[in-house]
Amino acid sequence: MAPQTGAGGEPTVLHVDIDAFFASIEQQRDPRLKGRPVVVGAGVIASCSYEARRFGLKAGMPLSEARRLCPQAVVIEGRAQVYRCFAEQIFARCREVSPAVETYLDEAYCDLGGTERLHGDLVEAARRLKRSILAATGLTVTCGLGPNRMLAKLIGKTVKPDGLARITAAGADDFMRDLPVEKVPGVGHAHARTLRSMNLRTAGDLRLLPVVALERLFGAPGRLLHERCRGRDTAVVSGREVPLSISRETSFHRDTADPREIEGMLEYLTGRACRTARELGVRPRTVAVRLRYADGESDERARTLPQPSDADPVVLALALDILGRLFTRRVALHHVGLVLSRFVRAGGEQGALFDEREAGRRAALYRAFDGVRSEFGHGVLVSGRALHLKGRLAEDEHGFVLRTPSLTK
């Protein structure tokens, strides 16, 4: 399906990006932090203020390095629940201007195709949205308007923070030609290294390669790069977000080798990840377990389920099996995580004929669990090994208070 076209015949996507999201909220909550370098994260930086970025700090950097580069930085562990509330306020305003909004943790894509008669000038509509978000939350956002998602996001990046920019289809060619290859979506460190070794430095240079050459170099993503370096992106704005993966991970409050605590945490994380999958109407094919040991070494292993499933016991059985094979070193664990990926739409997969009644009963049971949990909080129903966490971890209405709540999806 192609993106909707507006009255002018050009599809228009608005990309809304919340500036320095977590750090800006912390500065909002405590005005004494305004103008100071603020870092949010535990172990690594999840978000940092623009003042902190001037010292070279950036998301993903270990906190030890951040403290070395900027000793005066204020470090805050962060509260995912607070950030989610602010994001929801912002996304609610996006939904007032667009019928199709696709949301992520700190950004949203709004399809504005066909809304010109309603909004008039779309740049002015974006400006109004920025003002309305600022008035409601005190936060600034950067808006990019473009003929597709990729261009809307890329043009927004040129005017961060608190900016607004528009690129038209006619201007896309010039804009993309000079873009450094590593800025082209889909080009990571490894791809950029390969391309630079071939003296291909900009998206314009990349256009010199035929699609078959890109496919030979990078496999299937090569075809996407062939389109993207020309400013083409056919992905539509979907109102319902289907993520590439759902991960739930946390550090332990204290490094541990206690199998009951580790398995209990894995069961709890599995419950949360499966609930999210059910809410999104997707079932994972692949389950991965991530471990980080107290000495800094880490390991990850993934396996495929016989049938895609969003049922806690099915996913947990495989996760525990992976954990048993993966956790072999005699070193305490610092961090454990579960990642679900390769989703199929619930109901879209083939199941075994005689399992259908059982699957139906199980689905009804989990619908009931999810209903209770959304009414009273995830923590009201805790089962099996996760009971070992009771008393060890504090709880709030969202469940156990983890040391590292999922600040990123």
Partner 1 sequence: MRQESIDEPVAVRADFQGGVVTPVAFRLRGREHRVVRVNARWVDRVPRHPHFYFSVTAESGDVYQLQLQGTDLVWWLDSVTLEG
**Active site positions, annotated:** 107
Counting residues that bind partner 1 (by CB under 8 A) gives: 23
Of the candidates 4, 10, 28, 408, which one interacts with partner 1 according to CB under 8 A?
28
- Looking up tokens 């399992």 gives 355
Integer angstrom CA distances of residue 159 from 17, 40, 164: 11, 23, 6
Contact (Cβ atoms closer than 8 angstroms) between residue 308 and residue 343: yes
- Pick the stretch among 76-84, 160-168, 186-194, 258-266 that binds partner 1 (CB under 8 A): 76-84
Based on the shown chain and the rule CB under 8 A, indicate whether residue 85 belongs to the binding site for partner 1.
yes
Q: In whole angstroms, what is the distance from residue 17 CA to residue 253 CA?
A: 32
CB of 76 or CB of 316, closer to partner 1: 76
Helix (H, G, I), strand (E, B) or coil at 214: helix
Question: Strands 38-40, 74-76: parallel, antiparallel or unpaired by DSSP?
Answer: parallel
Q: How far is the CB of 378 from partner 1 (least distance, A)?
A: 9
Contact (Cβ atoms closer than 8 angstroms) between residue 89 and residue 21: no
CB of 63 or CB of 294, closer to partner 1: 63
Of the candidates 9, 31, 219, 296, which one interacts with partner 1 according to CB under 8 A?
31
- Looking up tokens 């005066």 gives 72
Q: How far is the CB of 84 from partner 1 (least distance, A)?
A: 8
CA atoms within 13 A on the CB side of 161: 12
Of the candidates 25, 150, 187, 382, which one interacts with partner 1 according to CB under 8 A?
25
Based on the shown chain and the rule CB under 8 A, indicate whether residue 138 belongs to the binding site for partner 1.
yes
Based on the shown chain and the rule CB under 8 A, indicate whether residue 408 belongs to the binding site for partner 1.
no
Based on the shown chain and the rule CB under 8 A, indicate whether residue 72 belongs to the binding site for partner 1.
no
Based on the shown chain and the rule CB under 8 A, indicate whether residue 374 belongs to the binding site for partner 1.
yes
Based on the shown chain and the rule CB under 8 A, indicate whether residue 42 belongs to the binding site for partner 1.
no
Integer angstrom CA distances of residue 235 from 129, 153, 168: 24, 13, 17
Contact (Cβ atoms closer than 8 angstroms) between residue 306 and residue 285: no
Based on the shown chain and the rule CB under 8 A, indicate whether residue 132 belongs to the binding site for partner 1.
no
- Pick the stretch among 210-218, 256-264, 359-367, 375-383 that binds partner 1 (CB under 8 A): 375-383
Please give the DSSP secondary-structure letter assigned to residue 393. Answer: B
Q: How far is the CB of 98 from partner 1 (least distance, A)?
A: 21
Restricting to residues 233-272, which ones interact with partner 1 according to CB under 8 A? none
Q: How far is the CB of 29 from partner 1 (least distance, A)?
A: 4
Q: How far is the CB of 89 from partner 1 (least distance, A)?
A: 7
Based on the shown chain and the rule CB under 8 A, indicate whether residue 398 belongs to the binding site for partner 1.
yes
Q: How far is the CB of 33 from partner 1 (least distance, A)?
A: 7
Based on the shown chain and the rule CB under 8 A, indicate whether residue 357 belongs to the binding site for partner 1.
no
- Looking up tokens 């974006």 gives 126
Q: In whole angstroms, what is the distance from residue 111 CA to residue 93 CA?
A: 14
- List the beta strands (DSSP E) in 5-106: 13-18, 38-40, 47-48, 74-76, 100-103
Q: In whole angstroms, what is the distance from residue 300 CA to residue 286 CA?
A: 13
Based on the shown chain and the rule CB under 8 A, indicate whether residue 33 belongs to the binding site for partner 1.
yes
Q: Please provide residue 306's backbone torsions phi and psi, each rounded to the nearest 5 degrees.
A: -60, -40
Of the candidates 8, 30, 54, 259, which one interacts with partner 1 according to CB under 8 A?
30
CB of 79 or CB of 290, closer to partner 1: 79
Q: How far is the CB of 83 from partner 1 (least distance, A)?
A: 9
Q: Strand 47-48's sheet: what is its strand order? A: 47-48, 38-40, 74-76
Integer angstrom CA distances of residue 350 from 43, 179, 285, 342, 346: 42, 44, 12, 15, 10
Q: Please provide residue 255's backbone torsions phi and psi, each rounded to the nearest 5 degrees.
A: -55, 140
- Pick the stretch among 31-39, 252-260, 266-274, 287-295 that binds partner 1 (CB under 8 A): 31-39
Based on the shown chain and the rule CB under 8 A, indicate whether residue 74 belongs to the binding site for partner 1.
yes
Give me the residues that bind partner 1 (CB under 8 A), please: 25, 28-33, 74, 76, 81-82, 85-86, 88-89, 137-138, 374-377, 397-398
